[in-house]
Amino acid sequence: MTPRFIALIAALWAAGAFAQSPVIRQGEMCDPCVPPSVAKSMPVGRTPTQGAALRAEVEQRLRAPFDAAARDGLLTREQALAAGLGHIATNFDAIDREGRGAIRFEDYKRFLKERGAALD
């Protein structure tokens, strides 16, 4: 297959005009390095999590945006939408199994687990 293509160059929200300019390269690439100030605070004694400890961290990643958008632990579809939590808003009726109009994190977690999420 020889694909035909068009090259689109765009700057979203901005347009430019134009003459060639130099390329700037500040230093030498060092990825994944950190500056000395960060290196000093590296968590050297940490053992990377796995199993239940990792699943707890995964749950915390899911819980944080939920809690930030909820009031007293309860989240409505409108609150989910306003917070950009499209996954919850789209699936709200399936998560809100009892039709209360507001869900708790445990409702969302149960929904995810029923769909195959590796959570405890």
What's the Rg (C-alpha) of the chain?
23
Q: Residues 38-77 vs another protein: string with x where CB under 8 A? A: xx-xxxxxx-xxxx--xx-xx-xxx--x------------
What's the min distance (Å) between Cβ of 113 and another protein?
A: 9
Strand partners, 22: none
87 near another protein, rule: CB under 8 A:
yes
What's the min distance (Å) between Cβ of 47 and another protein?
A: 9
What's the min distance (Å) between Cβ of 32 and another protein?
A: 3
**Which residue number, 64 or 97, has a Cβ lying nearer to another protein?**
64
Angle between helices 51-69 and 105-114 (to 10 degrees): 130
Tell me which H or E stretch contains 112: helix 105-114
Separation of alpha carbons 13 and 27, rounded Å: 30
- Distance spanning both ends of the chain, measured CA to CA: 47
Strand partners, 74: 71
**Which residue number, 54 or 97, has a Cβ lying nearer to another protein?**
54
Q: What single-letter DSSP state applies at residue 101?
A: S
| Interface ranges with another protein (CB under 8 A) | 1, 3-14, 16-35, 38-39, 41-46, 48-51, 54-55, 57-58, 60-62, 65, 84-90, 112, 115-119
